[in-house]
Structure 1
Amino acid sequence: MFRIILLLFFSFTYIKNFTQIQKDTTFTINSEYKKNIKKYPFIKVPNIINSGSVKQTSNITYKKIKDRTLKLDAYINITKKTKPALIIIHGGGWKSGNKEMQKSMALEISNLGYQVFTIEYRLSDEAKYPAGINDLESALKFIIKNASKFEVNPSKIAILGCSSGAQMATLVGEKHPKKIKAIINIDGILAFHHPESQEGKYAELWLGGSYSQNPKIWNDASPLYHISKNSPPILFINSQFDRFHAGRDDMIAKLNTFGIYSEIKKIENSPHTFWLFEPWFQPTIKYTTDFLNQTLNKNN
């Protein structure tokens, strides 16, 4: 009997742990390609080639939580001179996606002279808000601590996010303006509870309940309510779908009162996930690097 009880205990523990580490894999480049190819039969997944100046190191541990490790990928432009850095946050409704989805973007931007990092963070099935934000803050701290190793100029760090990752990136940038000097928001909302917002179950899963249940958390997670005189300049790159930039115009109005620079670029006739595919990938890269060159003074 004791052996049976012991066996059941270990079996339950195994199943429990196995369940905990399962990740939602519904949001991938392949799933988005299949979703959009009928409407946009000309789309292609970018094939970015390393120019020879980029050293890629995958799965660098930046944080440990008990037996859980969180990792980042580094794309380092190999030169003696330190360079500005860009942190990239993947999307996926706070529930799915992974850092590898941003490989093409990271490699291309690193080819163009930046030290780039793509970040793994805890998704909503694993941990609720603000866990994912705390992870990104830890990654930022790790990069700054290892700035010399990564040949990063710690006074010139920008952050970019796509979709839900854009909301997260913008929030981190607004909360840490002394460390983040520029923000690129690619089709991400700025306010969860807003007339333009259509966030529902995915927001509730991440924020731990509905707005009526957790209004303070919904507002705290909204970058719109964290703007200050110290806010970094921000670039918005948006699709044709207004709901993916809920609160953007209100945010720009607030930034204008402090004289903080903002810019909007619109990708017409595209799917929401335009940044993953050509013919929109390269324009997205150009808008991003032009903005970074301007705000971070790359050559100084």
Structure 2
Amino acid sequence: MTCPVAVTWFLVVSGYEARLTIHEAIKDYCDEVELPILTSDTFWNQLVNPLYIPKDVILYADIVYCTDQELAEQREDVDEKQFLSLDIYTRRDTSATLKPVFLFIHGGGWIRGDKTSPYPLIRHLAESGLVVVAINYRLASVAPYPAQLIDAKRALRWVKKSIKNFGGDPNFIIVGGDGAGGHLAALVALTPNNAEYQPGFELVDTSVQASVLINAITDVTNETMVWNTNFPEHFAKDIAKLDKSNEDFLKLHSPIHNIKPDSVPFLVFHGDRDNLVPFQLSRNFIEQFRKVSKSEIQFVQIPGGHHVYHLFTSPRSQYQAIGIEKWIKHLHHDGKHA
């Protein structure tokens, strides 16, 4: 009985801390904040069944977002359709009002991961009335970086063109991600309409309205001294397949070095016990963003949060999902989008 009791106690304590943290984070733009209590069925039913999809949510799976020509240009020895596809989650309703869109990019160090990972965030946002798009992209083992960034922008192109057919608003898109997916999400948000990452669709508008980052890799250089000394070389050689590390290339592909005065708003989460992506990276990103950009940025430190605290259903991950929902709806309601 010791182990179940310990696990239950951990979930309760971490959930209570997260409830206080999220309440503090969202109180500034929510007049009445009613977060579910820890004994809520919302939490414990999903804990028993972590793959649960709410009955009023529809899943449209494995939609290819590339053009036929782009698919024809891919490697013949790899079926790349699995990498160049997306899933859409949307609530069943008959409302004619277009919903905010959340485009989510999974993490995994650019070398692993999949859009079908059971993120509680995806299910919650869909159930709360957003249209959620979870994408795959070619991993570094299939195509060297920046193929992953190009794929994310290809997916965004598809969303802009087609999401209205699923009830989503193509003029209000939030891009988010975790870990390496957060790196890609941040760069999508910070490099709109950059022709270098839009081969064959240079004139397509790839701007978004805001970005949500979770334990994101916001700096792939060694300047902050928070990575071990091998990481920049790892990114350059193993992810980008360069012959050697290139400082200019690393800066060009670090979100912290792409912040501009007119950058879109950001909501940044980071667990303070993350042992894979240093917590200090997010602090540095926040500090630099506030120096350079005029836009809103909010930082939420998750007490005791490790690198994948948000990947599994728990009161903590559910409270975080509620916080993200409230922040997105706050932006949408206030019209803080282009």
TM-score, length basis structure 2: 0.70
Tell me the distance in 1 between the aligned counterparts of 2:215 and 2:124.
Answer: 20
CA 1:292–1:271 in 2, change beyond 3 Å: closer, same or farther?
same
Partner residue of 2:239 out of 206, 219, 238: 206
Task: Give 2:287's aligned residue.
Answer: 253
The yes-or-no answer on 1:189 pairing with 2:217 is: yes
Partner residue of 1:283 out of 302, 315, 319: 319
Structure 2 stretches lacking a partner, 5+ long: 12-46, 194-205
Partner residue of 1:91 out of 78, 96, 107: 107
Tell me the amino acid that sits aligned with residue 57 of structure 1. Y
Task: Give 2:298's aligned residue.
Answer: 263
CA 1:150–1:49 in 2, change beyond 3 Å: closer, same or farther?
same
CA 1:265–1:115 in 2, change beyond 3 Å: closer, same or farther?
same
Residue correspondence of structure 1 range 28-39 to structure 2 within 5 A: none
Partner residue of 1:296 out of 332, 335, 338: 332
Aligned 8 A contact 1:56 1:75 in 2: yes
Residue correspondence of structure 1 range 106-121 to structure 2 within 5 A: 106-121=122-137
Partner residue of 1:142 out of 124, 134, 158: 158
Aligned 8 A contact 2:107 2:181 in 1: yes
CA 1:166–1:46 in 2, change beyond 3 Å: closer, same or farther?
farther
Aligned 8 A contact 1:207 1:217 in 2: no
Task: Give 1:18's aligned residue.
Answer: none
Q: CA deviation at 1:133?
A: 0.4
CA 1:173–1:181 in 2, change beyond 3 Å: closer, same or farther?
same
Tell me the distance in 2 between the aligned counterparts of 1:202 and 1:86.
Answer: 30
Per-residue CA deviation, residues 55-113 of structure 1 (Å, 9 max, x unaligned), is: 11110111142253211000022332210000111111111111111454212210011
Aligned 8 A contact 2:91 2:130 in 1: yes
CA 1:103–1:73 in 2, change beyond 3 Å: closer, same or farther?
farther
Tell me the amino acid that sits aligned with residue 267 of structure 1. I
Q: Percent identity?
A: 22
CA 1:130–1:246 in 2, change beyond 3 Å: closer, same or farther?
farther
Partner residue of 2:92 out of 70, 74, 78: 78
Tell me the amino acid that sits aligned with residue 94 of structure 1. W
Aligned 8 A contact 1:94 1:202 in 2: no
SS in 2 for 1:74: strand
SS in 1 for 2:327: helix
Deviates more, 1:112-121 or 1:222-231: 222-231
CA 1:46–1:57 in 2, change beyond 3 Å: closer, same or farther?
same
Task: Give 1:61's aligned residue.
Answer: 64
CA 1:289–1:216 in 2, change beyond 3 Å: closer, same or farther?
same
TM-score, length basis structure 1: 0.78
Aligned 8 A contact 2:215 2:279 in 1: yes
Task: Give 2:266's aligned residue.
Answer: 234
RMSD value, Cα? 2.7
Aligned 8 A contact 2:119 2:310 in 1: no
Tell me the distance in 2 between the aligned counterparts of 1:276 and 1:46.
Answer: 14
Structure 1 stretches lacking a partner, 5+ long: 1-36
CA 1:246–1:214 in 2, change beyond 3 Å: closer, same or farther?
farther
Tell me the distance in 2 between the aligned counterparts of 1:113 and 1:107.
Answer: 10
